[in-house]
């Protein structure tokens, strides 16, 4: 077909569909492009919704990334909102849509791009008729939440779910000075982190007045008329004037499945490296599709805006008749803010490695985000996960500043199959206001390299130390603040002159607050003939997080 006769129909806007539409026009100026969106807004900042609740994004209209008018005037794209696609006829290459009036209409396509996204999981205990119970996935959801908040002087809020949306909403509700309880059925927040790395987030919430209930299951919601009054849990009732459910999302694949398109093992639409489905004339992008995971090597669901936008660019190119590089594999790289803390991760956690039976090692370091002598240095804890051969598997970081930068660097290294040795040799920018000559990324890599080279090895911070000769090299004051019963106390500056009081034949572990001084002590002991000596990675500060 000629460019002039090519009709591209896109189902769904927001990140993936809107990106695909704009890209298709840039590739093909002559094609007819039609974008169908079931909601009233074609492209809005879904990730920004929580921040309007707290007032950080003051104007609701700021969340509207692109309007139908912009698409029409700048790109010549016909956007039809409040129009739902209900059926795909692959034989005739038509889509059946339901108009706002309820009328059905059949629309022909040459290329079809599916971008229906995901939908919030709505547990059975949530009655859709309750006016003060909502998810936070659309502008309509946001409007309902704001109406409740604005109609009450001091509403008591309960957020169900400790993932990204739940954390962001709880933070923003607290920013408004409102009482908030965050409920999570698992023993930790944010499953993209290992449990000990997520622990500081709970402490940060509590410091800022948010009550966090872990290991707590919601059993139901009590109501009077059309208003919820409290959340029933297995540990008691939580009074509530506003309830926001953020327990997760699932891909919207009903339309694709009904059309006979192949689904993948994790339940998303199966696509190739150019976002083509099992039908060569239909492409799919966004939260409804499976992306290849860089480390696991298999398709997975990653409902994040970054992959959706990149996939939209590729699908728009291919649908419009262009050529481009394939979709790169994903790592699930993510970041979230909780008041004064930032938490970010990329690749695999130790918990995923355990579940997947992947051999791994992990180290922790604590460092300042820039030169410690420069004013304003904020601390961070960085966990690096790697294979015994040095290949990097993942990383997590929690701190006050500079966290995103470090995770992005490590994500880049993983994308190019980097090792801890590669990470240790990276040439990173340095000036006192921005970093350190030995960046936290370098420090984590150095510790990992030492571990792999037995120079010396590390032991996990939650290890059972009962079979070791434990040498605590902290100061006496540090011991009082965070004691380690059974350890032999030799301050680090005295190890070289006093190691003779120790038994060099016994398995030995050195311990300090963060692992840095303990490494010095372990190196000394190893050099004077201790046959089996290791450093407790992360030190007592990380060990204390295993509660």
In sequence order, what DSSP letters do the residues of 253-265 get, joined into one string?
-HHHHHTT--B-T
Rg (the chain; Cα; Å)? 27
Active site residue 47: yes
Residues contacting 31, CB < 8 A, separation 6+: 3, 4, 6, 7, 8, 24, 25, 320, 321
157 vs 180: CA distance, rounded Å: 5
List the 210-213 sheet strands across, edge first: 133-134, 242-245, 157-160, 180-183, 210-213
State the catalytic residue, choosing from 47, 238, 323, 397.
Answer: 47
Asked whether the beta carbons of 12 and 138 are under 8 A apart, the reply is no
Q: Name which of 444, 436, 433, 430 is nearest 392 in CA terms.
A: 444
381 vs 270: CA distance, rounded Å: 37
418 vs 407: CA distance, rounded Å: 14
Q: 46 to each of 304, 344, 443, how far by Cα in Å?
A: 10, 19, 36
Q: Name which of 290, 232, 288, 260 is nearest 90 in CA terms.
A: 260
Tokens of 377: 């240095």
287 vs 305: CA distance, rounded Å: 8
Tokens of 382: 């960085």
392 vs 413: CA distance, rounded Å: 8
User: Percentages helix, strand, coil for the chain, rounded to the nearest 5?
Assistant: 30, 25, 40
Tokens of 64: 């509207």
29 vs 21: CA distance, rounded Å: 12
Q: Which residues are catalytic?
A: 47
């Amino acid at each position: 077909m000629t460019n002039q006769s090519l009709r591209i129909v896109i189902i769904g806007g927001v990140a993936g569909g809107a990106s695909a539409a704009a890209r298709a026009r840039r590739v093909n100026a002559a094609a007819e492009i039609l974008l169908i969106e079931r909601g009233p807004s074609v492209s809005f900042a879904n990730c920004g919704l929580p921040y309007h609740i707290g007032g950080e994004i003051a104007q609701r209209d700021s969340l509207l990334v692109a309007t139908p008018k912009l698409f029409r005037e700048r790109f010549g794209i016909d956007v039809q909102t409040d129009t739902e696609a209900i059926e795909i006829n692959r034989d005739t290459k038509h889509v059946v849509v339901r108009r706002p009036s309820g009328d059905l209409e059949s629309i022909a396509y040459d290329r079809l791009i599916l971008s229906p996204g995901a939908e919030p999981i709505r547990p059975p205990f949530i009655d859709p008729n309750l006016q003060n119970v909502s998810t936070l996935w659309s502008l309509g959801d946001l409007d309902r939440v704001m109406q409740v908040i604005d109609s009450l002087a001091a509403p008591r809020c309960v957020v169900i779910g400790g993932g990204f949306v739940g954390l962001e909403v709880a933070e923003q509700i607290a920013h408004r000075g409102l009482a908030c309880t965050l409920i999570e059925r698992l023993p930790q927040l944010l499953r993209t982190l290992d449990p000990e790395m997520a622990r500081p987030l709970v402490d940060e919430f509590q410091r800022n007045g948010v009550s966090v209930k872990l290991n707590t299951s919601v059993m139901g919601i009590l109501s009077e008329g059309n208003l919820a009054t409290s959340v029933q849990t297995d540990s008691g009732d939580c009074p509530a004037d506003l309830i926001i459910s953020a327990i997760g999302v699932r891909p919207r694949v009903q339309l694709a499945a009904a059309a006979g398109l192949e689904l993948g093992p994790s339940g998303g639409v199966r696509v190739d490296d150019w976002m083509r489905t099992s039908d060569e004339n239909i492409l799919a992008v966004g939260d409804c599709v499976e992306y290849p995971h860089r480390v696991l090597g298999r398709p997975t669901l990653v409902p994040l805006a970054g992959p959706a936008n990149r996939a939209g660019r590729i699908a728009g190119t291919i649908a419009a008749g262009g050529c481009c590089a394939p979709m790169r594999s994903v790592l699930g790289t993510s970041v979230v803010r909780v008041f004064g803390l930032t938490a970010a991760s990329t690749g695999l956690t130790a918990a995923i490695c355990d579940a997947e039976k992947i051999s791994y090692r992990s180290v922790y370091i604590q460092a300042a985000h820039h030169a410690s002598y420069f004013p304003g240095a904020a601390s961070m804890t960085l966990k690096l996960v790697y294979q015994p051969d040095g290949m990097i598997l993942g990383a997590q970081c929690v701190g006050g500043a500079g966290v995103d930068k470090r995770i992005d660097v490590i994500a880049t290294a993983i994308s190019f199959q980097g090792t801890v040795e590669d990470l240790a040799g990276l040439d990173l920018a340095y000036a006192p206001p921005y970093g350190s000559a030995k960046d936290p990324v370098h420090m984590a890599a150095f510790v990992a390299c030492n571990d792999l080279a037995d120079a010396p090895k590390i032991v996990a911070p939650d290890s059972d130390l009962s079979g070791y000769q434990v040498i605590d090299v902290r100061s006496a004051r540090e011991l009082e603040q965070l004691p380690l019963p059974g350890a032999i106390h030799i301050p680090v500056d005295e190890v070289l002159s006093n190691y003779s009081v120790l038994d060099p034949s016994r398995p030995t572990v050195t311990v300090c607050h963060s692992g840095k001084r303990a490494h010095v002590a372990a190196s000394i002991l190893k050099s004077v003939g201790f046959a089996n000596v290791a450093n407790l990675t992360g030190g007592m500060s990380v060990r204390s997080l295993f509660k």
